[in-house]
């Protein structure tokens, strides 16, 4: 009896439909003397898996969405059974209601899950369950370390399994290709892991100040909605059926927990509205939907609805009307970072770069080194032909430990526009590597080496990175 999302063994359940839930097996890897993988090995597998995932699906790298989902995730992690465990939370652009946990604490949330969650507690309930799978080391225990399975091959196997959810034929083909060159893997699905994640996740949810009744409420709403989907229910329901027993179990757990004051933040509704715009394929229609909601009063959160309306207007080429909506929001909450960034976006769209830069500089004073502020500001600076300033801001983010494809790509553009071609190629190489395109990254490093001229320090860094990536390529070919 499964709960949320595509945790790894749930994916395996789909790729082996002829086996029972307690006997899901893939061929074994190596001998039977292996021990559970270490946290370091699990993290390495997760990192390699993420590079493959980024090369296969669209991950939303909007800085505000990224910042929000990370802050929500870390709020839960801080109240989990292992607050020191490393996690990475991200949003996949996909309209289905789903989420998944991968080795190393990587937790992906489909955009459809965020958009269909009516409260922050509902979204948090899903994340808490996935976090529990990681902190209880269910994923690590599912894999045994085998001497003949390489890191690239393990990551490829995990990717093939999880991507099989989106495209079963592609997933099975990828799995067959991996098995052809790899030793074998055995994973036993256990219902006890799901129950434990359910119980532990509920505890984490309550400790973090969320509503425990959000979990059964979300279940019940999905169950009721399922009757309208006919033969093609949401992926959440088709892979993890929500039963009356599961709803009753979740309700029973919620009732036994000591009630805590529930504190939900408005950022959830703002992120949800922004996702609606980011995933829209018709901005005029999306703007109309937000406008109608405001006129009729049919909304959950007025400010978020107005914010979404403004963003849709910007994307639809109507910055003047968008500015009017943002100014209304700022009248009530002038220090709100999200509204300030939206206003700056409006000014950039209108070609008023000087005004936009003033807004960003003011936001930087209020929120120094804030990732969302810096990335949006740097993007505007590049559009406004000020690459040196953008480069300095982005380099600072790298020094602080930020590592995203969006950051690397902007930095490559800033270095190129500032006249540093070698550095531009070097950062573009990091962008490609981050997105699982190692061979393209190597080509960029080779170009960087050619354009570095006599800069010994620069060439040393480039050549060292080249050797590192080439070793990864060779390791993958020899497994």
> Helix or strand or coil: residue 89?
strand
| Res 151: pLDDT | 58
| pTM (predicted TM-score) | 0.82
Sequence-distant contacts of 236-239: CB under 8 A, at least 24 apart: 236/4, 236/5, 236/96, 236/97, 236/98, 236/113, 237/97, 239/2, 239/6, 239/10, 239/13, 239/14, 239/98, 239/165
Q: How far apart are CA 15 and CA 24, in angstroms?
A: 9
Q: How far apart are CA 377 and CA 271, in angstroms?
A: 19
Nearest CA to 146 out of 11, 27, 8 is that of 27
Residues of the chain where predicted confidence (pLDDT) is lower than 50: 1-35, 145-148, 165-189, 228, 237-240, 478-479
SS3 letters across 129-178: HHHHHHHCCHHHHHCECCCCCCHHHHHHHHHHHHHHHHCHHHHHHHHHHH
Q: How far apart are CA 117 and CA 214, in angstroms?
A: 10
| Res 232: pLDDT | 52
Instruction: Output the six-digit token pair for 4.
Output: 């949320």
Q: How far apart are CA 25 and CA 186, in angstroms?
A: 5
Query: Does 110 show up as a binding residue in the annotation?
Result: no
Backbone φ, ψ for residue 202 (5° rounding): -65, -40
Q: Are 462 and 426 in contact (CB under 8 A)?
A: yes
Cα 183 from chain centroid? 30
Q: Are 373 and 360 in contact (CB under 8 A)?
A: yes
Query: Does 133 show up as a binding residue in the annotation?
Result: yes
Q: Are 54 and 435 in contact (CB under 8 A)?
A: yes
> Checking DSSP bridges between strand 88-92 and strand 106-110, what pairing results, if any?
parallel
Instruction: Output the six-digit token pair for 122.
Output: 């509902």
Q: Angle 222-225-228 (CA atoms, 0-180°, nearest 5)?
A: 145
Q: How far apart are CA 183 and CA 170, in angstroms?
A: 21
CB atoms within 10 A of CB 374: 25
DSSP one-letter code for 241 = -
* Residue at token pair 């300095």: 392
Q: How far apart are CA 275 and CA 278, in angstroms?
A: 5
Q: Are 427 and 412 in contact (CB under 8 A)?
A: yes
Q: How far apart are CA 362 and CA 105, in angstroms?
A: 35
| Res 238: pLDDT | 46
Around 419, how many Cα atoms within 13 Å sit in the side-chain half-sphere? 2
- Which element (helix H / strand E) includes 188? none
CB atoms within 10 A of CB 70: 15
Contacts of 338 (CB under 8 A, 6+ apart): 64, 267, 270, 307
| Res 455: pLDDT | 85
CB atoms within 10 A of CB 419: 10
| Res 13: pLDDT | 30
The residues annotated with a catalytic role in the active site are 130, 198
Residues in the chain, overall count: 479
| Res 7: pLDDT | 37
Instruction: Output the six-digit token pair for 280.
Output: 């829209």
Query: Does 194 show up as a binding residue in the annotation?
Result: yes
């Amino acid at each position: 009896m499964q709960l949320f999302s595509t945790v790894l063994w749930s994916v395996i359940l789909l790729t082996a439909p002829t086996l029972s839930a307690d006997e899901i097996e893939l061929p074994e890897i190596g001998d039977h003397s292996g021990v559970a993988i270490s946290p370091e090995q699990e993290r390495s597998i997760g990192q390699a898996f993420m590079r493959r995932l980024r090369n296969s699906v669209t991950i939303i790298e909007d800085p505000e969405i990224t910042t929000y989902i990370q802050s929500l995730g870390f709020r839960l992690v801080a109240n989990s059974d292992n607050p020191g465990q490393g996690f990475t939370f991200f949003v996949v652009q996909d309209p289905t209601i789903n989420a998944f946990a991968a080795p190393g604490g990587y937790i992906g949330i489909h955009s459809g899950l965020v958009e269909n969650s009516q409260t922050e507690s509902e979204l948090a309930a899903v994340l808490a369950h996935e976090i529990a799978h990681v902190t209880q080391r269910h994923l690590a225990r599912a894999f045994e370390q085998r001497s003949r399975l390489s890191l690239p091959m393990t990551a490829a196997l995990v990717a093939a399994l999880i991507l099989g959810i989106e495209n079963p034929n592609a997933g099975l083909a990828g799995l067959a290709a991996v098995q052809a060159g790899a030793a074998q893997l055995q994973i036993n699905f256990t219902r006890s892991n799901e129950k434990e994640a359910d119980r532990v996740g509920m505890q984490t949810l309550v400790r973090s100040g969320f509503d425990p009744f959000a979990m059964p409420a979300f279940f019940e709403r999905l169950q009721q909605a399922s009757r309208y989907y006919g033969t093609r229910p949401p992926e959440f329901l088709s892979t993890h059926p929500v039963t009356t027993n599961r709803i009753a179990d979740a309700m029973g757990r919620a009732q036994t927990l000591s009630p805590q004051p529930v504190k939900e933040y408005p950022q959830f509704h703002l992120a949800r509205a922004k996702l609606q715009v980011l995933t829209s394929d018709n901005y005029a229609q999306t703007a109309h939907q937000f406008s109608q909601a405001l006129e009729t009063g049919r909304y959950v959160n007025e400010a978020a609805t107005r914010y979404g309306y403004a963003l849709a207007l910007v994307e639809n080429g109507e910055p003047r009307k968008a500015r009017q909506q943002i100014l209304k929001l700022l009248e009530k909450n002038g220090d709100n970072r999200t509204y300030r960034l939206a206003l700056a976006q409006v000014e950039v769209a209108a070609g008023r770069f000087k005004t936009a830069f003033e807004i960003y500089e003011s936001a930087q004073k209020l929120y120094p080194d804030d990732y969302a502020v810096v990335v949006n500001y740097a993007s505007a600076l590049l559009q406004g032909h000020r690459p040196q300033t953008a480069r300095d801001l982005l380099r600072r983010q790298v020094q602080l430990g930020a590592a995203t494809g969006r950051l690397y790509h902007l930095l490559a553009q800033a270095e190129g526009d500032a006249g540093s071609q070698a550095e531009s190629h070097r950062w573009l190489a990091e962008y490609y590597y981050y997105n699982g395109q190692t061979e393209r990254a190597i080509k960029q490093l080779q170009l960087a080496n050619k354009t570095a001229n006599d800069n010994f320090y620069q060439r040393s860094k480039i050549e060292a990175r080249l050797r590192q990536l080439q070793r990864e390529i060779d390791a993958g070919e020899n497994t």
